[in-house]
A and B are shown apart, each in its own frame.
Chain A
């Protein structure tokens, strides 16, 4: 009888440790009831996963539905596990793995405060134009820029602003929606 520990016949990788970590954006459609956010967040944190960003708001007032968008990281099998676990929650209606869909739109909004004078101020203003950021508050020594876009764009904007007197950033976290006529 074979008692070999030879290679598995399984079509899946045998040791999940070898999988690479990926980022996952999950949109979770929930009944908007008390405690639902705590359930969703608690489930993810109880399993030791970090939430990199989180947004939540009611999106269908009539049906009392909210959309929670979560950015997290994990191996593909862990991401699958989180999705399945989220699906078990009673108020959760759907879990959409936005990163697995090629046609998803992703947006984030950031408010960026710059304090500076002279050349730096001019340069900040010039760069904000390139990024289509709007100055929503202006004083003689400061700007607050509003910038929207995919996370990479916002990250790039923040990186460029840093040497120009950036002192504070507020970000909304990621929102996402499917492109085209289909809905989730």
Chain B
């Protein structure tokens, strides 16, 4: 925790010029500018009109007009995840704020830095059921890292600076600033970033030397080690990803990652085990189950990862590196907890590892058996699928998409469902910040607006939303946003005419009773694209797939790609809910594989 600071006060004016007052709306934009904000994703309304008026006169900040406030938050998340900078959202009171809630909950679960500005009714009207009034602070308290109701223009700029600090420091997350309309008109003096008092949320102690020594001691004795990395490594930035690479190289430890951490470690490295968890690889999950030392870095032992908790990696000692003390011992008790930034801690581990290596050399054959075992698991080629010449297999579609976009500046977002898992399995990432997906909340409709945010940050890049026919309809109206702002995103729909992931669970857990999981009355996506003024493409056979994908890549406008795939394909491997890591399902199975208890889990 920071040194105790008194309640922030407006800076004392030093010169006549500094004392000049401005309207709250201008103070807000000044603060955003000072924070380096380049783009805002937003939607206007009565309670933010003064802010929009101030925005009209400025050309320093770009505004991307979305078509639904949920889209604004996902776009800001895409912007944030692909740049490492916080994303900024501006929406009106009442329905504007409530529409943003899903996006905020998504950003909270996935630790994405977002600053969301909402308008509020004038101070004297608060609590009177005024027009478009809702208790935004109350509603968003549980889905933001922190939120503020701005009491006066005098406090506004300090609050904005603190909000950016809170959103980006420690474990990142969404922060909301609710600004009553009269505060937007009220005049006050601007408080510069460095003068604003900023509170921290969790203590960030210096890296504990003794624990580093203890960890390296455990690492040097390990014979079956595994590095289990997560979204926290991506959060910690390029330096952390580089530290992970060197640490893996020097120690020779194999690396797996959660869905959220893909790209932090290069998929092309021989030590890469692939993703772990419910739809992870056999080699990753078996390595987790059988290891004698697990080093978790910026990962939170999610239920999608651990499977049955009492059978989770039973014979290992566990080291957990995380910036948030509440992540530690939350689901899985660990033997050694190191609270700190993933990059800093891994750098310290590396230094200690190297220092010891000089004193007493390692026996190099130490990991030989483990490597051989991993190679044996790898040889199972767990992602193999039955190829087809007649219909496009969804896995094949992703494989081709990956092959044909290699060497380009590619960013991938996804919706939620089977296509998301196939994307994680068959699209490979060698760099961080290239993969944007909704992991924690699993929000269908995330991918399209997220792609818009990514494209806004990287205008020249190839940005692809790997989508499902159902998910894409949740935020489809954002196609208009892409067209309006000339953001040439590519929405690649794996169209199986099903709520596929739901259908898969119904097949495996509910006796194949496909209750309401058929995507009936699907629109013609090609015509729909054209209606939006975008480009529509369709591939229905494996033969035409490559040419159509190339056409999509070459197109400089937004594209909706209707990739018609086989309908009843399932995602494998799969650890059913409530099962252990070494009880993976590899292929066609009957409906009795899931325990009664597992069926109650999601």
A1 surroundings in chain B (CB, below 8 A): 290, 373
- Decide if A88 touches B202 in the complex (CB within 8 Å): yes
Closest 6 CB pairs of A and B: A12-B333, A84-B326, A90-B146, A84-B325, A85-B326, A90-B201
Give the residues in chain A near B146, CB-CB below 8 Å: 89-90
Given contacts A6-B314, A35-B137, A91-B199, contact A81 B142 (CB under 8 A): no
Q: Which residues on the B side are within 8 Å of A10 (C-beta)?
A: 316-318, 333-335
Whether B310 and A77, one on each chain, are in contact in the complex, defined by CB atoms closer than 8 angstroms, is: no
Query: A34 contacts B290, CB within 8 Å?
Result: no
B270 close to chain A: CB less than 8 A: no
A46 to B325, CA, bound (A): 19
The complex places the Cα of A84 from the Cα of B142 at a distance, in Å, of 16
Stretch at the interface among B1-9, B247-255, B455-463: B1-9
Q: Tell whether, in the assembled complex, residue A31 and residue B333 are in contact, meaning their CB atoms are under 8 Å apart.
A: no
Q: Summarize A's interface: helix, strand, loop or mixed.
A: loop
Contact of A6 with B334 in the complex, beta carbons under 8 Å: no
Q: Is the CB of B290 within 8 A of A9?
A: no
Interface residues of B in 230-267 (CB under 8 A from A): none
Known contacts A1-B373, A46-B142, A93-B1: does B326 contact A81 (CB below 8 Å)? yes
Q: Indicate with 1 or 0, residue by residue over A129-143, a CB within 8 angstroms of chain B CB atoms.
A: 000000000000000
Chain A residue at minimal CB-CB distance from B199: A90
B interface with A by C-beta (< 8 Å) = 1, 4, 6-7, 137-138, 141-142, 145-146, 149, 151, 166, 171, 199-203, 289-290, 292, 309-311, 314-318, 324-326, 328-330, 333-335, 373, 582
Smallest CB separation, A84 vs chain B (Å): 4
Do B141 and A35 touch (CB < 8 A)? Answer: yes
Is B315's CB under 8 angstroms from A87's CB? no
Q: CB-CB < 8 A to A8: which residues of B?
A: 314-315
Are A87 and B310 in touch, CB under 8 angstroms? no
Q: Given A81-B329, A87-B202, 18 more contacts at CB 8 Å?
A: A1-B290, A3-B290, A5-B311, A12-B333, A12-B334, A12-B335, A13-B333, A14-B310, A34-B151, A39-B141, A62-B6, A77-B333, A84-B325, A87-B325, A88-B324, A89-B146, A91-B199, A93-B1
A72 to chain B, nearest CB (A): 16
21 A-B contacts (beta carbon < 8 Å) = A8-B314, A8-B315, A9-B317, A9-B335, A10-B334, A15-B310, A16-B333, A31-B199, A35-B149, A38-B141, A42-B141, A77-B329, A87-B201, A87-B202, A87-B325, A87-B326, A88-B202, A89-B146, A89-B201, A90-B145, A90-B146
Q: Interface code A93-137, partner B: CB below 8 Å = 1, 0 otherwise?
A: 110000000000000000000000000000000000000000000
Is A2 in contact with chain B by the CB < 8 A criterion? yes
A62 vs B7: C-alpha distance when bound (angstroms): 9
How far, in whole Å, are A94 and B317 apart by their CA atoms in the complex? 31
Fill in one digit per residue for A1-37: 1 if any B CB lies within 8 Å of its CB, else 0: 1111110111111111000000000000001001100
A9 touches B315 (CB 8 A): yes
Nearest B residue (CB) for A87: B202
A162 at the interface (CB under 8 A from B): no
Report if A34-B326 is in contact (Cβ < 8 Å); known contacts: A3-B290, A42-B141. no
| Interface presence of A80 (CB below 8 A) | yes
**Smallest Cβ distance from B164 to chain A, in angstroms?**
13
Closest residue on chain B to residue A46 by CB atoms: B142
| CB <8 Å contact, A88 and B137 | no
- In the complex, which residues of chain A have a beta carbon less than 8 angstroms from the beta carbon of B328? 84
A153 at interface by CB-CB < 8 Å: no
Cβ 8 A contact of A11, one of B4, B138, B200, B335: B335
Residues of A within 8 A of B200 (CB): 90
In the bound complex, residues from chain A placing their C-beta under 8 Å from that of B314 are 4-6, 8, 14
Q: How far is the CA of A4 from the CA of B137 in the complex (A)?
A: 50
- Please tell me which one of the listed residues A3, A15, A88, A90 contacts residue B582 in the complex, with CB atoms under 8 A apart: A3
With a cutoff of 8 Å between Cβ atoms, the chain B residues found around residue A179 in the complex are none
**Docked pose: A9 CA to B318 CA in angstroms:** 9
List, in ascending order, chain B residues with CB within 8 A of A88's CB. Answer: 145, 171, 201-202, 324, 326
- A87–B141 alpha-carbon span in the complex (Å): 16
A5 proximity list for chain B (CB < 8 A): 311, 314
Chain B neighbourhood of A34, CB < 8 A: 149, 151
Rounded to whole Å, the gap between the CB of A32 and the closest CB of chain B is 9
A45 shortest CB reach to chain B, Å: 10
Min CB gap B25→A, angstroms: 22
Tell me the complex Cα distance, A1–B372, Å.
11
What chain A residues lie within 8 Å of B199 (beta carbons)?
31, 90-91
Residues of B within 8 A of A3 (CB): 289-290, 582
> Complex Cα distance A37/B157, Å?
25
CB within 8 A of B6: which of A39, A63, A80?
Answer: A63
